[in-house]
Amino acid sequence: MAKIDRMKRRLLRDLVQQNVDLIQGRPPRRLRLGYRVGVALRVLTLGLVSVALFGSTQLLTGLAGSRDSSHGGVRVASANLGPKGGPIAPRGPAGAEGLGSKAALSDAGVDAKVFPLAVRRVAIDAGHGGRSLGTHTPQGLVEKNLTFDIADRLRKRLEKEGFEVVMTRSGDAAVPLDRRGSIANRSSSDIFVSIHVNWIEDRGSRGVETYFLGPTNDPYLTQLAAAENRDSGYSLTDVRRLLDRIYAGVRQDQSRRLAEEIQGSLFRSLRRVTPSLENRGVKSAPFIVLLTTEMPAILAEVSCLSNEAEAENLAKPLYRQYIADSLAQGIRTYAREVEGNPSGTGGEKGI
């Protein structure tokens, strides 16, 4: 840089002298061929250096913008991606989207694992409530009561381990599906876990399955989603608009990862109690309660009330505690993974 400064000063001095000669009526000084060649080379060098410096500045600015976007609060992130779901890059001229925009992320197919996350606050959604009973048995077991009991047990377990917990309903309250998502969004929760109890036409089936938001061509899942979405209050146009906004992106990838951890934990833990338990897997379906959230969100069907043996288990507080513990383990595993501590050697919560 010092050499460049000296070259600039020398060129400036020569130009000043030539201007003085012209003003005073003297012909410009004749330059030796070698000197003229040297000056030309120095001018060329300065030009190349200037272009290189300008290009480097632009490149660094672009990288900085990209870096800021990648650290812009993806806590899940969310397929909008929303305040928790991902970076929102500044728009350039004429509304062009920056490197960190949702469109850029979707088009580039960015792996959600590149975004560091933190799970501090968990929104727990006990399915149904109030006039929405959910499934129920002739013996008096009602889904809305079972889900709230499990949700409350999960809340206590997570709070002991240092998580903050937000409940979408307290007691036997009727909470619209869209408001459940709003409660989670306003509380800036990091993940959303909705708890339900399944009812399967094959009464011999007894298993667990976990859902994340996504499309489906499965008639059974379409029927299940339609039943769960019945009290959403959304029109068909509203649903299509939300689907277009959310179905792709980092939030969906994170929701899938959360679903996989919770499903694995539920099946491994509960199979010890019921060896005949079926692993019905991780699936995607358009549940409204997942659609309205702005963070990684899943819906867990933690048992089958349609199965007589499962219904007997669900009537026991100890079994409901097993379910709550399994959900907590899945959440802990996911939290370790996204915070870069998959070995479970501890973290800020000491888990």
Strands lying side by side in the sheet with 297-304? 164-167, 121-126, 191-198, 297-304, 207-213, 278-285
Cβ neighbours of residue 250 closer than 8 Å, sequence gap 6 or more? 74, 76, 77, 78, 79, 81, 85, 86, 105, 110, 112, 115
pLDDT in tens, 128-173: 999 999 999 988 999 999 999 999 999 999 999 999 999 999 999 9
343: tokens are: 């070995």
Considering only residues 289 and 92, tell me which one the structure prediction assigns the higher pLDDT: 289
| Long-range contacts of residues 158-164, Cβ cutoff 8 Å, at least 24 apart | 158/122, 158/124, 158/328, 158/331, 161/328, 161/332, 161/349, 161/350, 161/351, 162/348, 162/349, 162/350, 162/351, 163/119, 163/120, 163/121, 163/122, 163/331, 163/349, 164/120, 164/121, 164/122
What CATH number has the domain spanning 118-338? Answer: 3.40.630.40
Helix (H) or strand (E) holding 317: helix 317-338
Please tell me the pTM assigned to this model: 0.60
Residue 29 in 3-state DSSP?
A: coil
Distance CA 60, CA 88 (A): 19
pLDDT in tens, 87-138: 333 333 333 333 333 333 333 444 445 444 589 999 999 999 999 999 999 8
Considering only residues 313 and 223, tell me which one the structure prediction assigns the higher pLDDT: 313
pLDDT in tens, 237-283: 565 556 555 554 567 888 999 999 999 999 999 999 999 999 999 99
Lowest mean pLDDT among 176-180, 214-218, 262-266, 272-276: 214-218
